[in-house]
Amino acid sequence: LPAGLSQWFPALEVLDVSGTGLAEMGTELLSLPCLHTLLAKNNRLGGPGSLPKGLGQAPLARSLRVLNLSGNRFNEVPPALLQLRGLRSLSLGGNRLHGIPPDIQELHSLEFLYLGGNFITAIPPELAKLPSLRYLVLCDNKIQSIPPQLAQLHSLRSLSLHNNLLTYLPREILNLVHLEELSLRGNPLVVRFVRDLTYNPPSLQELAGRTVKTRNVPYAPSDLPESLVRYLSLASNCPNPKCGGVYFDSCVRQIKFVDFCGKYRLPLMHYLCSPECSSPFSSASQSSTSQSESDSEDEASVAAHRMQKVLLG
């Protein structure tokens, strides 16, 4: 950046240095107290010293609202960016990112996050701690699963996941009540539906805990060690309406098909307390089509009105 920039334009609000071959941004950037939009797309940023030291402590950290660093060479999200607490829009698409730092949760004001076109393999649960996030773009990465915690993004309107390695979605995604757009094309779950059944036999402690819960055995904190009282409080109800049981650590992981908008059938992950609970959904006499339809009946009416647009093709 040119020297004396802050002296020439002390009230500068928008700065666009995209496509200029820029390899680093100097300290002049730090003395622009009114800058709220910085566009530096398609440059050579990403090496040591690309961003000025002290970025998180400068007046810019409070004023900057929009930052676009897409099309550069960053291997990781620069820690200094996580100190820009006023950011509402952050774009780092088309870089070389392999992950998302858990500290992304510090950007409480973030409404738009674009991380498409990288090499990201996993989404940290901490991403769900962005209360204002409305648009999340994670397309064209190598993501294999979605953490159920993303259901806590109650402000989310659009979720772009196309061209990843997803084979299923967590059942909790139905809790994204304001979601209007879900993009899934180019994932294995679209071209081939996967049914997965895994089960670890319950421990003696879990069996005892299930008995206490299902038979409503009375107990008080004074009757049991604190660790067991805490363990009993972690019981999850089996979602099978014909069961009524509970589980703790041992459960059946199973794909369940759910209709969206009355047209698209998506595989969602759900959990059952035992293999016996899967029998109403997986009779040997049923075809795969009839099984899919029976699995989706109880949730289709709930899900259909929530998704205005599901992009699969």
86 vs 257, more confident? 86
| pLDDT at 200 (0 to 100) | 72
Determine the average pLDDT of the residues in 47-51: 90
Query: What are the tokens at 15?
Result: 């700065």
Q: How far apart are CA 45 and CA 24, in angstroms?
A: 6
Contact criterion met (CB below 8 Å) for 164 and 143: yes
* pLDDT above 70: residue 123: yes
What percent of the chain stands above pLDDT 90?
43
CA–centroid distance for 179 within its chain: 13
| pLDDT at 310 (0 to 100) | 64
Q: Phi and psi for 305 in degrees, rounded to 5?
A: -80, -10
- pTM, 2 dp: 0.72
Where along the chain do its domains lie? 5-195, 201-252+266-272
Alpha carbon distances (Å) from 142 to 74, 98, 158, 165, 189: 17, 9, 19, 6, 14
Classify residue 104 as left (phi > 0), alpha (psi -120 to 50) or beta: alpha
Beta partners for residue 181, in sequence order:
158, 309
What percent of the chain stands above pLDDT 70?
79
pLDDT category at 27 given cuts 50, 70, 90 is: confident
Q: State the Cα torsion 217-223-228-233 to the nearest 10°.
A: 50
Determine the average pLDDT of the residues in 94-121: 96
Query: pLDDT tens, 192-219?
Result: 554 444 567 889 999 999 999 989 999 9
Superfamily of domain 5-195: Ribonuclease Inhibitor (3.80.10.10)
Q: Any idea which of 80-84, 122-126, 253-257, 262-266 has the lowest mean pLDDT?
A: 262-266
| pLDDT at 309 (0 to 100) | 60
* pLDDT above 60: residue 286: no
148 vs 305, more confident? 148
